[in-house]
Structure 1
Amino acid sequence: MRLSRYFLPVMKESPADAQIVSHKLMLRAGLVRQTAAGIYAWLPLGNRVLQRIAQIVREEQDRAGAIELLMPTLQSADLWRQSGRYDAYGPEMLRITDRHEREMLYGPTNEEMITSIFRDAARSYRDLPRTLYHIQWKFRDEVRPRFGVMRGREFLMKDAYSFDLDEAGARHSYNRMFVSYLNTFARMGLRAIPMQADTGPIGGDLSHEFIVLAPTGESDVFYHSNWERPAELSSVDFDDVDGLQTIVDTYTADYAATDEKRDEAREAEAGAELRQSRGVEVGHIFYFGTKYSASMGLKIQASDGSDVIPHMGSYGIGVSRMMGAIIEASHDDRGIIWPDSVAPFAVGLINMRADDAACSAAADALYKQLQDAGVEVLYDDRDERGGAKFATMDLIGLPWQIIIGPKGLEKGVVELKRRATGDRVELSPDEAVAKVKG
């Protein structure tokens, strides 16, 4: 993509109402624009990142055995009355009346709808276990939306729902999602710490939230210093009940808790290794038994002919919130530093002298070579000074920059820069293409 033809409205200064780093950089880098309180338009560069994040989430859900569908944003109030949550949910729910005076709502979550769908289709134990998910927009009418996409009113979310014959099966489904989340966040370059959490309006008695450490986070978190060390998760067999349980036990052995769930005894055991920070919640998983299946009349015929009420769980990842969390965890004073896996483009190609015929010809040729090699490239072909081009590329944070200038061309080389480290090296054009492709 040529930057001269792209829509990338970058800003030199941060808006006064942007309070945290991710909000400031998302606005300055032309990723989003606010259209109403807590509601954002996703501009082309931001939308590319959003789709990258969603695709990683999708791949890891599929790998864990979940099945994708798509449910609507608007829901009938009658569904929520069946579960008893319509009046209990609170003012965060946006309630709507259509032209026929039917009560509707903009879904903040989908436990009722998915239970209704499954209830009308599943009949016997052969239909279980199943985990269904979708990636869909949600709306929660926050009284004070702030921090950009970190606490907005409209947000993109992956929510999954598991159905099992009994508690043992449901806990295995829970563990599958627990491990899937570890993989998901690791692929985005994040270390997300699972912490035992309150279940809130979702319900149930088992819940973990996944927290990314960030100074501007919304929650106080306390954790053992072991969580600051890199961790590797080897290949996983999602059908191995004992193996998954061992992974979950391993990842919850070291102390980690939000302020609401602090355990003084375990903190005393951690001693000098106890750390305190702020954190951003990027995912939340719940096991809540038969809360929704029982209230909504979901019954399954067991192998012995008796009726059983399936056990359920739900599992959310804030896809749009993830973008803010990644920026909070990966930036410097010049701008964003995207992990390779979610970057909107792999490389930024900078023509230092758009008014020089030789430079432009070499840059055009390298642009085509990168495209032919399958490398997604943003080509800054604008007639701007070099400093402005460097500032834009550092701000938007693409993993690689290839710089073409007259002096390098005389030597037959281009300059390759790694955004995360600032390291620069002179290579032939072919070597630079091979490096960024690798």
Structure 2
Amino acid sequence: MHRWSQLFIPTLREAPADAEVASHKYLIRAGYIRQLAAGLYSYLFLGQRAILRITAIVREEMNRIGQEFYLPALHPREVWEASGRWSVMGDNMFRLKDRGGRDLCLGMTHEEIMTEIARKELRSYKQLPQIWYQIQSKFRDEPRPKSGLIRVRQFTMKDSYSFDIDAAGLDVSYQKHYETYRRIFDRCGLKYAVVEAHSGAMGGSQSHEFMVMSDAGEDMVASCSKCGYAANLEKATSQLAPAEDLPGDGKPEEVHTPGMKTIEEVAKFLGVSPTQKIKTLAYMQVEADPKAPGGKKTRPVIVLLRGDHSLNEAKLTTVLGGKEFRPMQADEIERVFRSPAGYLGPVKLPASSGGGDIGSHTQKLLLDSLPLLFADTALKGRKNLITGANKENYHLRNVTPGRDFYPTEWIDLRNASAEEGCPNCGHPLEVGKAMEIGHIFKLGYKYSKSMGATVLDKDGKEVAPIMGSYGIGIERILTSAIEQNNDQDGFWLSRSIAPFDVVITPTNVNEGSLLQTAEHIARQLEGIGLSVLLDDRDERPGVKFKDADLVGIPFRINVGKKVTEGKVEVVTRSTRQSQDANIPEIEGHFRQLTQS
């Protein structure tokens, strides 16, 4: 039996001034966590109990499909260089040197380490499939940690990795994780959606995210209420209504636009719609290269969008093979393209041009030095558009893509927006904030081939195993549950992840009969497998009730005046409903209550 008077549960009446989202406020107020530094938190007694219960669910479900490992958090540079990600991860990776000057990093994820084990240990297709997982701390040097446990610099992740002999095997491993994740999140009492997702620096051919819709989330999800389509905005596409082209004689013509630089200014000045303009964005691709000046090699990248559209940076990252990029400075634009920054356009720009499928052609061009010019597919087939003339105070009209300039590639690069058509059925899309709680990837051969992991197939031929990677944010489960289940007085968790099932509150511990009755009930409920917190503090009933409402425990038993009638009051935190229960029947009452 746990007695509140003997525990460290430092509840607060007010939230810290910098706490903005509900989960951050209540985790602090309920005494679950305390901040050590930006993005670094200590888990106190209640917080750690909740985390351990979540972890137990994750471990139990993962043990049904995989084997648990425990890998180092400190990694040598060499394994990350072997995969090509040492430079790709950029400033998000914590990097350090040992006393011998050797480069190390703190693990953000463990694809490289698991693949290294597979490379050294797996020899034959007969050893496949394999699913290996761990529950381990991860580290990310977040530039702006915020929202409590939602965006931090150290966090706990369940990460697992599958190795299969072929794509059909990967399909099975992927589906196993998909079903396992659903069981985990169902058991944790979460309402969630599964959406198509961007693979990012992980690479791979297919990816899904498990999302909790919440204003505290930092992701945006586009969804269709008619057919069920759902995708992270980083991945989402949409159908566009036809846009009207301007009349023109088919020849680009300069038009004077004094001082007009923005899409809106030029459109208003010329009396046209932003849909009839080309937006030209200039970026610099950056990658590590010890032979280049400053250790970094750069390459200009031009992105062309319809004037009313915005760039989806995740899609551009995919096109660039995961390489970093940044906006070009005005002086760089003038030096590279000989154009004032506000008047840049694609006509007569020095750039790699061509066509064909993204992948073969573009991957070859990534080795060249000419600027890359990517045009969004919404511009394909358009005529007589307006764009910058690469000349101060001038724009061009009557510009037609594919005639007056030739993109390196046509590719979907824009953000989908609310009310645009669903890509599957055309119904208007809805867009809302969401929080990622899990992510599954089909990695393909990205890591096994780059790191030289091979097995012998049934014909005795060396082949690379095909891989999957799968992650769950342990703290994200806790924060999501709080975001979904809170009111002005606190929050409530499902029994499966709450630190205790029941808090028993004798209204006056100085009345011996009340405390004795509370202790008797606690022993009875523990006897049927419930975890019980007895609030035996010498405090006013109102203080105890407020704390009980605050700390996330799903049921409260008030032991007060009705004890003389052989009754106690049972309160369900999620609904605020209360009912009297006969003390001799309390076990049966809770058996029924916890099964409903």
TM-score norm. by structure 2 comes to 0.67
SS of residue paired to 1:80: helix
Shift of 1:274: 4.5
Shift of 1:26: 0.4
- Answer with 318-327 or 140-149: which moved more: 318-327
Amino acid at match of 2:168: A
Shift of 1:369: 2.3
CA contact (8 A) 2:221 2:434 kept: yes
TM-score norm. by structure 1 comes to 0.90
Give 2:452's aligned residue: 297
Q: Which has the larger radius of gyration?
A: 2
Alignment of 1:27-426 (within 5 A): 27-63=28-64, 65-225=65-225, 254-265=228-239, 267=422, 274-405=429-560, 407-426=561-580
1:88–1:340: structure 2 CA closer, same or farther, 3 Å change rule?
A: same
Shift of 1:118: 1.5
> For structure 1, which runs of at least 5 residues remain unmatched after alignment?
227-252
- Answer with 140-149 or 67-76: which moved more: 67-76
CA contact (8 A) 2:581 2:589 kept: no
Shift of 1:409: 1.2
CA contact (8 A) 1:416 1:432 kept: no
SS of residue paired to 1:316: strand
CA contact (8 A) 2:93 2:141 kept: yes
* Partners of 2:526 and 2:62 in 1: CA distance: 30
* Partners of 2:204 and 2:22 in 1: CA distance: 35
State percent identity of aligned pairs: 41
Deviations 1:379-422 (A, max 9, x none): 100000000000000001211111101x2111111111111111
SS of residue paired to 1:204: coil
* Partners of 2:164 and 2:470 in 1: CA distance: 14
SS of residue paired to 1:170: helix
* Partners of 2:99 and 2:587 in 1: CA distance: 58
- Answer with 260-269 or 385-394: which moved more: 260-269
* Partners of 2:481 and 2:516 in 1: CA distance: 37
> For structure 2, which runs of at least 5 residues remain unmatched after alignment?
240-420
SS of residue paired to 2:8: coil
Give 1:235's aligned residue: none
Shift of 1:3: 0.2
* Partners of 1:342 and 1:132 in 2: CA distance: 24
Deviations 1:168-215 (A, max 9, x none): 211221121112111211111112211111111111121111110112
- Answer with 340-349 or 208-217: which moved more: 208-217
CA contact (8 A) 1:3 1:382 kept: yes
Deviations 1:33-88 (A, max 9, x none): 0111101101010001101111111122122x111111111111111111111122
Amino acid at match of 1:43: L
Amino acid at match of 2:461: S
* Partners of 1:435 and 1:100 in 2: CA distance: 65
Deviating above 4 A after TM superposition, structure 1's stretches of 4 or more consecutive aligned residues are 268-274
* Partners of 1:119 and 1:86 in 2: CA distance: 19
CA contact (8 A) 1:401 1:416 kept: yes
Give 2:247's aligned residue: none
* Partners of 1:274 and 1:86 in 2: CA distance: 38
Shift of 1:272: 6.6
CA contact (8 A) 1:210 1:282 kept: yes
Give 1:8's aligned residue: 9
> Superposition RMSD on alpha carbons, in Å?
1.6
Deviations 1:97-142 (A, max 9, x none): 1122222111000000000112111110111001100000000000
- Answer with 295-304 or 357-366: which moved more: 357-366
CA contact (8 A) 2:198 2:232 kept: no
